[in-house]
Amino acid sequence: MMRGDDDAIISLVARTVSPFIMIFALYVIFHGHYSPGGGFQGGTMLAAALILVRLAAGNDLAQLQFPRSWGTPLGSAGVLIYWGTGFVAMMGGGRFLDYAFLPLAGAAPQRRSLGILFIEIGVGLAVCGILTAIYDDLLEGRPHD
Amino acid sequence: MKALRTAVLVLFGAVLVIGGMSLPNRGDPDARPYRDPSPAGTPNAPSYYVRHAERDADTPNMVTVILADYRGFDTMGEETVILTAGLVCFLILRRGRPKEKRS
Amino acid sequence: MHWELEITLFFFLIVTALVALESRNLLTAVVSLSVFSFLSALLYAAMGAVDVGFTEAVVGGGVSGVLFVVTIFKTSRKSKD
């Protein structure tokens, strides 16, 4: 099942569909201000696209797309983006996670909108990395005793 | 044993139905949680969010504003929990074994 | 209103939950659980909570099913009880 040299059609379809899922996931992340969606949903869809290629093309071939050592650092980077936004707002003179004090152009509502966008990107990166890492750990971890 | 299990399930379902009948109607603006002040003292906190979300953050989707702006600490804790879950999976599933190729 | 649609969704929700509980084959249980998640996502959307329904559809119907299937392939396929 997890080797991927079984069926060419499954591999071809999965590799064709996966970029479209990623585009829609990025749309969900960046359009979360105006429509249902946001960082968590978009990040999960990104992870679903990566896992689809892993299921269809095999775990060894999919390392060319997203190596197994990237998952946990990507998740940590997302959490760091979130906390860093809060600390930058604190350095701007406000409270923790008060986006009106971010050093950006525009009035306070526009600054808060941009702050929400940074938060969503951080959440999306974290969820995508962690879900892919959990899949890799489940697949390549040691068998049960 | 199976009869006892079925009886307990039916009883629990009856309790749920009786409890659910006294819930407020769906989307009722006069329901109790929308009338009471919040613990911080803000009167009518949910209707404050509904009325001020788009003006405060220039974002029409008020769910996003509540999740990421008004309740930013909550989402931060949630994301930290996800990272912790991933690290715990890494530590449990890949513990103490040299890397080798398995087919 | 659209209470007929919701009654149908609730009926299939209970059916898929019972199938997931009672089946011996764990793959059947996982697929039935994914259907359960997707039906509850449709119910959330019918109730007006579109964001919650979106999350439930993506997480419950997509990724958690894959994780369950990988776990079943790593362990055993039949239920003992």
The Cβ of residue B50 has, within 10 Å, a number of other Cβ atoms equal to 14
Q: Quick check: is C11 in a domain?
A: yes
Residue of A135, A69, B79 lying closest to C63 (CA atoms): A135
* pTM for this predicted structure: 0.85
> Closest residue of B to C71, CA-based?
B93
Residues in chain A closer than 8 A to C62 (CB atoms): 44-45, 48
Q: B19 lies in a domain?
A: no
Alpha-carbon distances, residue B71 vs B66, B68, B84, B95, C65 (angstroms): 6, 6, 20, 36, 30
**Tokens of residue A29, six digits:** 């992340």
Q: Is residue C80 in a domain?
A: no
The predicted pLDDT at position A11 comes to: 86
Q: Would you say residue B64 lies in a domain? A: yes
Q: What are phi and psi of B45, to 5 degrees?
A: -60, -45
Q: pLDDT tens, C34-54?
A: 999 999 999 999 888 899 999
- pLDDT category at A74 given cuts 50, 70, 90 is very high
DSSP per residue, B60-74: S-HHHHIIIIITHHH
Segments forming the whole domain that contains residue B77: 33-95
Comparing alpha-carbon positions, the chain A residue that sits nearest to B101 is A140
The overall average pLDDT reported for chain A is 88
Task: Give the type of residue at B76.
Answer: M
pLDDT at B101: 54
Mean pLDDT to the nearest integer, B2-8: 93
What is the predicted pLDDT for the residue at C15?
Answer: 95
Answer whether residue B52 is part of any domain. yes
Chain C CB contacts of A48 under 8 Å are: 58, 62-63, 66
CB of A29 closer than 8 Å to CB of A124: yes
Domain count, chain B: 1
Distance CA C53, CA A34 (A): 16
A37, A131, A135 member nearest C70 (Cβ) = A135
pLDDT of residue C17: 94
Residue A100: its pLDDT value, please?
87
Question: pLDDT tens digit string along A14-67?
Answer: 989 999 999 999 999 999 899 888 889 999 999 999 999 988 888 888 888 899
Q: Which residues contact B3 (CB under 8 A, 6 or more apart)?
A: none
Which residue in B54, B55, B58 has the most chain A C-beta atoms within 10 A of its own C-beta, making it the best mutation to test that interface?
Answer: B58
Q: Is residue C46 part of a domain?
A: yes
Domain ranges of chain A: 8-140
> How many structural domains comprise chain C?
1
Radius of gyration of chain A (CA): 18
Question: How close is the nearest chain B Cα to the Cα of C28, in Å?
Answer: 23
> DSSP per residue over C5-58, as a string?
HHHHHHHHHHHHHHHHHH-SBHHHHHHHHHHHHHHHHHHHHHHT-HHHHHHHHH
Q: Do A55 and C66 touch (CB under 8 A)?
A: yes
